Chains A and B, each alone.
Chain A
């Protein structure tokens, strides 16, 4: 890192890092109660790393918030705990099971847990009085995301209004809020999937093991490879078998598909990502497949 910069040029990854750290510090300075939304996936781990760097040698001056779907991969939870221990940061867990028990959200057997995250998250934001919530969303993930600002204003219902966004000029972010409103903040908006992996490689960042190639009992559903677990058993006609796979995103175990891969190091993953012809969401996210505007619709309701 202490390389010399003969021509005062920063690599694009250094530029992205500098921009993200600037955004994180800006939020910490201007908002009363920020929180970092943490799913345990690679993007939120990169966010934690950036937050760690932004305030070093001080600790991260805000808590992290995880929505526990009850259907998370155990490997992801283990990684989360190690990060929390290492950084000494406060962890707030908003559990969907608790939210169901308290009647905050209703499980009707039809709504996926992914959708139940929305109400659970919004309730946690309100209960804790968080005014800004960092997310690891990137604009390259999805075309509705490409339209969202770094500071994404949410009304008192947590809704995003794509037609009424604040213009974002230079690096001057406007964090003004009315009572009950909050801001979603996306410091890694300008990163791509490949940038995230490159950063993980460069920084030697620990991520959940499920990102690396491993043996797993999987079955095909809707063109995706799903994990066989008691939470998500095979339906009629589906046959589980052992395959060599890895995950490209982390989410609900019942909805997140994996890909066949032998990539067992970050370098190999980068190589695979660089030549991949399918987006991570296209390959592995059941939740985005409901309709062409699935992500946009969920965001309008208050999703990440």
Chain B
């Protein structure tokens, strides 16, 4: 038995070394009980504080509700509380001894696709809620399509309100079969279907006594145990240079380091590397993490890389392995989600940001609009409206160092910016790379 360590030391140990992180995005229609579920996860993991709960209880009473409306915990803005709706993506946090969780809470009904895309872009897992009484709706299919398009590697379908269908196994089986069938058309590597009652807490954190027929994990158990470490690309080395560190001080007169966040693969001192787009080759002389030299760097570490030769490297360049490098290209074929109310049209010019590189892009062609309800490819439409998804061809002013989004979510993604308003108007996922 180890020496007596205090609870404080244990807590420090847990949070500083052991605990890992799962980011998940929630989706669901307005009345599927999403806010209640999030409230339940927070409440049952003891992540709600007394002062927050008291405030919600007071407000619920004031509004004449006969139960505490957990949705009030998550509706943070005055206008949301007034209207009882959720306007925009919010991020929430809770932790169990095993993991810290970041929830991207995406609202169900307004500006629906763009919010889902925003929340899903950083998610390891997508959580889609359906109402057991309704079964799969068009909306649930849309959620799944978007999560698949965004390459969210894990998907959970939570069949909610099981209490309202007498905890029926038949109802669950039917929904599960239907969804599994639908999911075969999509790219969803890992799917879990869990029957729950968010309101009563069945199978959320605690196993339900009402559904003895269900032998799978509770939602919390699944969230705590789903394996996400292998979802990153540890093979194809990609290091987009963010910032050149040049101290210009007596002590570090000749220091020249390239700071950035590793986007793929593993970097080690001694590795032969190529700097793109110049194509100059060198070797990694050292990798610094603050004042320490480290032996390897991998995603998502933010480090500073030094090279053996004095090659010209600046922000926007990418360091890769000589025999495994992205091919610089000015012609981009991508799926985009359009987020602006003014439509996207051919010949339009936009600003583009890809990794640490800024350029301008011209819309050369709109190949098709994807109907996310039917997955039908509509090739007639040449105008893409807000919340629509399309396949487009872009020509950029400077070469981008792209991978396919399917291979790397960092080097395969970009945003489009309206140069007049400065607003982010599109999210892009590159189809081909390398």
Interface residues of A, Cβ cutoff 8 Å to B: 1-2, 4-5, 7-19, 21-22, 25-26, 28-29, 52-59, 139-140, 142-147, 162-163, 165-172, 174, 176-178, 189-190, 192, 194-195, 198-199, 201-202, 265-268, 270-271, 274, 276-279, 282-283, 292-293, 296-297
Distance from B313 Cβ to chain A, minimum over Cβ atoms (Å): 13
Instruction: Using known A-B contacts A162-B77, A172-B413, determine if residue A12 contacts B295 with beta carbons closer than 8 Å.
Output: no
Instruction: Using known A-B contacts A8-B234, A10-B300, A18-B302, determine if residue A189 contacts B73 with beta carbons closer than 8 Å.
Output: no
Distance from A28 Cβ to chain B, minimum over Cβ atoms (Å): 6
B273-295 at interface with A (beta carbon < 8 Å)? 288-292, 294-295
When the two chains form their complex, are residues B353 and A277 in contact, meaning their CB atoms are under 8 A apart?
no
**Total number of A-B contacts with CB less than 8 angstroms?**
240
CA distance A246 to B15 in the complex (A): 23
CA distance A12 to B74 in the complex (A): 23
List chain A residues, Cβ under 8 A from B55. Answer: 292
- Give 20 pairs: A residue, B residue, CB < 8 Å, sorted on A: A13-B19, A21-B302, A22-B302, A25-B242, A25-B243, A55-B243, A58-B246, A58-B249, A143-B75, A146-B91, A146-B92, A147-B89, A147-B90, A171-B261, A176-B423, A192-B95, A195-B100, A198-B12, A201-B12, A267-B9
CA distance A9 to B228 in the complex (A): 10
List chain B residues, Cβ under 8 A from A174. Answer: 353, 415, 417, 422-424
Counting from the closest, the 7 A-B pairs by CB-CB distance are A282-B51, A271-B8, A143-B76, A176-B422, A12-B21, A58-B247, A21-B302
Q: Indicate whether B129 reaches chain A with its CB closer than 8 angstroms.
A: no
Q: A198-B16, A202-B12, A267-B12 are in contact. List 20 more A-B contacts (CB 8 A).
A: A1-B294, A2-B294, A11-B17, A13-B15, A16-B21, A22-B260, A54-B302, A57-B252, A58-B255, A143-B74, A146-B74, A165-B88, A167-B89, A170-B409, A192-B100, A198-B11, A271-B6, A271-B7, A277-B49, A282-B51
Which chain A residue lies CB-closest to B413?
Answer: A170
Distance from A113 Cβ to chain B, minimum over Cβ atoms (Å): 24
CA distance A29 to B102 in the complex (A): 27
When the two chains form their complex, are residues B100 and A5 in contact, meaning their CB atoms are under 8 A apart?
no
Which chain B residue lies CB-closest to A16?
Answer: B21
Interface residues of B, Cβ cutoff 8 Å to A: 6-9, 11-12, 15-21, 49-52, 55, 59, 73-79, 81, 87-93, 95, 99-100, 102, 114-115, 117-118, 121-122, 229, 232, 234, 242-243, 245-249, 251-252, 255, 259-261, 266, 288-292, 294-296, 298, 300-302, 304, 315, 339, 351, 353-354, 356, 409-410, 413-415, 417, 422-424, 427
List chain B residues, Cβ under 8 A from A17. Answer: 302
Cross-chain contact of A7 among B100, B229, B252 (Cβ < 8 A): B229
Distance from A232 Cβ to chain B, minimum over Cβ atoms (Å): 23
When the two chains form their complex, are residues A147 and B77 in contact, meaning their CB atoms are under 8 A apart?
yes
Instruction: Using known A-B contacts A57-B252, A194-B95, A201-B12, determine if residue A170 contacts B122 with beta carbons closer than 8 Å.
Output: yes
When the two chains form their complex, are residues A57 and B339 in contact, meaning their CB atoms are under 8 A apart?
no
B118, B290, B304, most chain A CB atoms within 10 A: B290
